[in-house]
Amino acid sequence: MEIFADKRILTVSQLTALVRGVLEENFEHVWVEGEVSNVAMPSSGHLYFTLKDGGAQIRCVMFRASARALRFRVENGMELILRGRVTVYDQRGEYQLIVEYAEPKGVGALQLAFIQLKERLAKEGLFDEIVKKPLPMLPNCIGIVTSSTGAAIHDILKILKRRFVNVEVLICPVRVQGEGAAREIAAAVRDFNLYKKVDVIIVGRGGGSLEDLWPFNEEIVARAIYESRIPVVSAVGHEVDYTIADFVADLRAPTPSAAAELVVKNKAELAAEVDNLSRRLEYSMRHILGEFRSRVEGLSRAVKDPSMLLGYLVQRVDDLYERLNRSFLTGMMQRRERLASMTNHLRLTNPEVELERCRERLLRLSARLDTAMRGILDQNRETVAVTIARFQALSPLATLARGYAIARKLPDGVVVRESSQIDAGDRLDLTFHRGSAVCIVESARD
């Protein structure tokens, strides 16, 4: 027992604290790679996930400040390289990695963020051609969103001055790289829409690295361009550079200078085109006037003496009057003949004649009905007499009148039909043709 005399007993919290101290002291900054799973981001803004390989796994947490700094979205199955410090989560007694920095394995964080945002916005339809707005043929006012000190604004203004010096230009200077640049670019696009006097907007900057061009890959800029009621031309970087703004804009220009050439036409070219159209219009008008002059001359030669035309018209009026008179007389005669025919027909179909004919027919039918009814009554009378005679012949009263009597046994009144029904001493009620009598049976014989 003495071997344990100097033992030190630790609580679970004390042991965990000691382990945490050892881990944090020896693994303060570590780099680790693996596959992501079980990604979760609750309302707190912290990012939780598990990093694993073929033989082990470790829980990871990225606190809100670090998570918000990520350029890309962490998803299950993604291969990441992480930098952080190892510690122990006391409540579960598990060691975990507090992540301070993360980057995709094999592809840069910005490039991955660009791909993820592009795919998501494409699914929402922000890049669809059907929502693209056409550029005005000749804008009166052009809005430019770019840096006031960069080379892009000087290139745009030089091109605009050379091509069409009269066009009005409004510049909204913004930062085009660094923290907060995306918010300024989006706000400038929205401000031009509120101003409502700009016909087309150029959004852009000169060339640079992916990091330099990144504000034009921000979702806030893409949403502002998509929601703009004014056509937007994106002119970011060089011809090989592509940003999210290029895909969502109504038109992409390979460079800021090209954007200026796309939004306005060359004034000299327009003037030459107007002169050409004027000459073509003059030639067309001369040709049309010549054709009309020829037609007028032809019509003038075809016009005859008005007195001859008037005489022809008077003759035609007389002819029409005569035809109308004949037609009227013919119609009157036809109507008169039709009236006479209808009068004769009405006379033949006089209602009084028809009524007399019906009265005679009714009298004949009444006489035939009387005769038929008398015949039926006589026939029925004879039938009734025969039936009565037959009933009288079958009547029991007739039988009694011939000397017969009906005997009923008293007291129940049963009719006696044979001698076996009575015995000596029974009382009988005898019914005769006229009257009845009660008697006592002295003897019964078969």
Question: What are the domain boundaries of the chain?
Answer: 12-106, 124-264, 267-295, 400-440
- The residue among 203, 200, 194, 198 whose CA lies nearest residue 222 is 203
Residue 406: partners with Cβ closer than 8 Å, 6 or more residues away = 396, 400, 415, 430, 431
H or E element: which one contains 156?
helix 151-163
> Residue 126's CB: how many other CB atoms inside 10 A?
19
pTM of the model: 0.47
Give me the sheet containing 251-252, strands edge to edge. Answer: 168-173, 141-146, 200-205, 232-236, 251-252
| Domain 12-106 indexed as CATH 1.10.10.10 | no
How far, in Å, CA of 257 to CA of 254, rounded?
8
Q: How far apart are CA 116 and CA 122, in angstroms?
A: 10
Specify the CATH number for 124-264; select among 3.40.50.10420, 3.20.20.120, 2.30.33.40, 3.40.50.261: 3.40.50.261
Contact 166, 270 (CB under 8 A): no
Kindly state the tokens that stand for 15: 């042991």
Q: What does each of the 446 residues of the chain score in pLDDT, given as a tens digit?
A: 455 556 777 777 777 777 777 776 777 788 888 888 888 888 888 889 988 887 788 889 988 888 887 777 888 877 888 888 888 887 887 888 888 888 777 656 667 777 788 888 889 898 898 999 999 888 889 999 999 888 888 888 888 888 877 788 999 999 988 888 999 999 999 999 998 889 999 998 888 777 788 889 888 999 999 999 999 999 888 877 788 898 999 999 988 888 888 888 766 566 666 767 777 887 888 888 888 888 887 777 666 666 666 766 777 787 888 888 888 888 888 888 888 888 777 776 767 777 878 888 888 888 888 888 888 888 888 888 888 777 776 767 677 767 778 888 888 878 878 877 788 888 888 888 788 888 888 887 76
Six-digit token pair at 439? Answer: 């008697």
What dihedral angle (degrees, nearest 10) is formed by the CA atoms of 109, 111, 113, 118?
Answer: -170
